A and B are shown apart, each in its own frame.
Chain A
Amino acid sequence: MSSSVMVDSKQKKRLLEMLRRMLTIRRFEERVKKEFAATRVKGFVHLYIGEEAVAVGVCSNLTDADYVTSTHRGHGHCIAKGVDVKGMMAELYGRRTGTCKGKGGSMHIADVGLGMLGANGIVGAGAPIAVGAGLSSKYRKSGQVAVCFFSDGALNQGAVHEAMNIASIWKLPVIFVLENNQFAESTSVRYATSVKDPSVRGESYSMPSVRVDGMDVLAVSQAAAEAVARARKGEGPSFIVCDTYRYMGHFEGDDQTYRTKEDVDVYRNNDPITKLRKKMAEDGSLTEKEFEELDASVLKEIEESVVYADSSEWPAPSEVLDDVYTSR
């Protein structure tokens, strides 16, 4: 076997894995939408559909030991970081077998063992926490990096500015990833943000800053690869702006009066999953049949997660008191 074929096969495997992860996020979220509509999933739910390339592109450069902090729209970050979808679905169902034993739900879904330091109900709150994880890695000389995912709504939160400044002066291995999905709830980023190009916010904290097409997983992955390499070499934080879009409302139930269907269609026609699928078809690394098989296996995995969640026990009411403190 020639070396070029070896590289191709390695590259194919990498692309296939990214496609599988993006598709898993998409199918998971589509199913959550249904489960929520059927009131089997309660509470507040924010779906990541449309933004898959960001989480997957970034996390394709991470190991299980690396850290991520997430947002209220956190399911995609979990799946990209390798969190088990069965545990996730059980969590959304509020069951004892959930990743957080039914204590967190959608907005606080986490798996600290996999470095997933939590979705977060407070916009921008993950940024200082990511800085702390970066500080910890640097102090322990572990080589781990911390990725802070945040959205354009958090771009104007004080905590994010403080965190970016501290990461910069302490030269911490933190990658700030802006998911510029255009809207903070109903408020347009163009209205709410004083700068046209958000990447200047990173430059003003003296960190390398790039802006990439967040609907292109390969572009995101490439930018993240450079930022992660810099962080691991001890060269400090980076800022990546990913222009992206959420196809669904801010939350399930959002009437979306702040945009038109046509606005959404512009991005749907630029879909990150379709884009990668097309590219792989063109370079011969994925046949139609292979894609259908992949999709079927992802759908099966999601179906199994629902069966698992639905058949899992509820927590006992007495468990309400558990895990407030390590010791009383």
Chain B
Amino acid sequence: MQQVDQQQRNLTFLQAITEALSQEMERDKSIVVMGEDVRIWGGVFGRFKGFREKFGDDRVLDTPISEAGFVGAGVGAAATGLRPVVDLMFVDFFGVAGDQIVNQAAKMKYMFGGKAKIPLVIITMIGGGLSAAAQHSECLYSVFAHIPGIKCVVPSTAYDAKGLLTTALRQDDPVMFFEHKFLHSSTEGRPVPKESYAIQFGKADIKREGTDVTIVGLARTVHQSLEAAQELQTQGISAEVLDLRTIVPMDEQAILDSVKKTGRLVVVDEDYPRCNIATDVAALVASKGFNYLDSPIGIVSSLDTPPPFSPVLEEAFLPSVEKIVQSAKAAVHRT
């Protein structure tokens, strides 16, 4: 173990993702990468930088701006022996390729009586905070969690991102890997071991232990929740922060166990407020853990509007540390 520790580095979130991909591509020749601008730029934010030189043109495929065409090509390649990683730049573009994800990738195994496997990984950026406005700031992971047949990974740290992406590339179901662009340069969380490791899907992670209130978050909201927990501590409230990490599968037991311990729940979800992960978690606890609750469930989400451009408006739109603190205090004081 000592040796492993010496090799741990403070990688950024994006570096950890690049490393996981690179290591898995070295290990498994059936992995190919395809998307817009992946060869020369290495993808718009450089996720695949150097891949062309390392893995060659036949494994790093630049596509035209044809999301339905290249996501669908990923589905067909996955059904016939490859393990494609498709870059769907921003999740806001999913509508263009929606049929291939929702009607094809997600359903083929089931429709064909289990006789197909679709080991397809779609990486896509999510989230606000960069004034990227209405068509480049959404989260939308709730849409995919709604559809049976697609696994959904929503990591918050470099360590989790590397381990979860490694798992995504070693299993046989379609995976949407949501990469919050606000976290790209983040080095928060555990240091990242150099060698590859896999984190099991469906295992939430307690990022901070506490006793008074459970705050469930995912992606960027985990960091906001951790900041809120620090603030709450100065006010005498001990908050537990639970990071879902994957929403399909979702670790229901970890949520219920934590609420059982604290008696109070706040769910923080950057997606739109209707039919999102927060309402899903709230429904879970209301139906299976109602007796654990000492106060009504608090929900902090983005507002029910498209993401606005102006930083002032966007701040009002997004979940924030302050909103989480308020919600947690309300949960504790309403007891």
Contacts and interface: CB of A to CB of B under 8 A. Distances in A.
A165 B58 CA distance: 18
A324 B110 contact: yes
A159 B64 CA distance: 13
Contact of A166 (B64, B103, B117): B64
B322 interface: no
Contacts, number: 159
Interface in B79-137: 79-82, 84, 99-100, 103-104, 107-117
A133 B110 CA distance: 19
Interface stretch (A22-30, A135-143, A219-227): A135-143
Nearest to A129: B76
A322 B114 contact: yes
Nearest to A103: B113
Given A128-B68, A159-B69, A166-B69, A324 B76 contact: no
A108 B114 CA distance: 12
B301 to A, nearest CB: 27
B270 interface: no
A135 B79 CA distance: 11
Interface in B24-79: 32, 58-59, 61, 63-64, 66, 68-79
Contacts of B59: 139
A67 B81 CA distance: 12
A98 B70 CA distance: 31
A98 B113 contact: yes
B76 A136 contact: yes
Interface in A15-55: none
Interface of A: 67, 69, 98-104, 108, 110-113, 117-118, 120-122, 125, 127-137, 139-140, 146, 158-159, 162-163, 165-166, 169-170, 322-328
Given A117-B76, A132-B80, A325-B173, A110 B111 contact: yes
A326 B108 contact: no
Contacts of A125: 72, 99-100, 103-104
A281 to B, nearest CB: 41
B202 interface: yes
Contacts of B196: none
A101 B68 CA distance: 29
A128 B72 contact: yes
7 contacts: A67-B80, A104-B112, A120-B104, A122-B99, A128-B73, A133-B76, A136-B76
A162 B172 contact: no
B108 A111 contact: no
Contact of A108 (B111, B151, B249): B111
A121 B59 CA distance: 31
A103 B110 CA distance: 7
B79 A325 contact: no
The 9 A-B residue pairs whose C-beta atoms are closest, nearest first, are A132-B76, A128-B72, A162-B69, A323-B114, A101-B113, A129-B76, A162-B66, A100-B113, A132-B77
B103 A121 contact: yes
Nearest to B100: A128
A326 B171 contact: yes
B77 A133 contact: yes
B77 A135 contact: yes
Contacts of A113: 115
B149 interface: yes
B148 interface: yes
A133 B80 contact: yes
A325 B149 contact: yes
Contacts of B173: 325-327
B194 to A, nearest CB: 27
Contacts of B81: 136, 140
Interface centre among B73, B77, B117, by most chain A C-beta atoms within 10 angstroms, is B73
Given A69-B76, A112-B116, A159-B100, A323 B172 contact: no
A62 B116 CA distance: 21
A110 B61 CA distance: 29
A242 B68 CA distance: 25
Contacts of B100: 125, 128-129, 159
Given A101-B113, A104-B111, A117 B79 contact: yes
